[in-house]
Amino acid sequence: MRYYFKRMGSKTPCPPRKPWTKIAWSGLGAFVGIYLVAVMSTLVSQDITDHLFLIGSFGASAVLLYGAPQAEFSQPRNLVGGHVLSALIGITLCKLFPEPVALISALAVALSLVAMHATRTIHPPGGATALIAVSGSSNSHMLGYSFVLSPVALGALVMLLVALLINNLSGNPKRHYPMYWF
C-alpha cells in the first residue's frame, strides 16, 4: 500500500511560468474566440441569455487552442473531430435512452472517450460536449442532431479560424498553428 501512495508524489519540479508574451497572446485568442461564438448566439436568438452557441466545453477548447496551440489535443482534427463525434454520441444516447440521466451521462462521456481514442481525435472538451448533449438544457435536446452542426461544429470551426489567425500573428514559432491537420 505504501508503494501505491508513493506513486502520487512529485516526479519533477513545477514548470516555470510562461513568458508574458505567451500569456498575452493566449488571453487575446481566448477573448476573440469566445466573443465571436457569443456574437453568433445573438445572430441566432435575440435573447442573449439563451446562449445557444456558448456551450461550456468551448471555454475549455479556448484554453487548449490559445494557451497550448502545439499540444496534440489542440490540433484541428482533434478540435473538430472530438467535439462533433462526442456530440453525435451524446445526442444519439439521449434519443435512445432519455432516462436515467446519470447513467446516460456517464455512458456518453465514456463512449466519447473510446471513440476519440479510436479515431485519434482526443480533445478533452469533447467529453464535456457529450455530457452537455445528454444533460444540457431543453434547447440542446430540442435541436436533436442539428445540435451537432450548430452550435457544436460551427462553434468549433469559428474557434479554429480564430486559432489560425491569432496564433500565427505571433513571431514566435512555438505559437504557430497547427502542427498538423490530419
Q: What is the pLDDT of residue 180?
A: 96
Q: What is the pLDDT of residue 103?
A: 96
Q: What is the pLDDT of residue 69?
A: 96
Q: What is the pLDDT of residue 46?
A: 56
Q: What are the domain boundaries of the chain?
A: 20-167
Please write the tens of the pLDDT for every residue from 74-114: 999 999 999 999 999 999 999 999 899 999 999 999 999 99
Q: What is the pLDDT of residue 47?
A: 55
Report residues of the chain scoring pLDDT below 50. 48
Q: How far apart, in whole angstroms, are the C-alpha atoms of residue 21 and residue 85?
A: 34
Q: What is the pLDDT of residue 52?
A: 63
- pTM listed for this prediction: 0.89
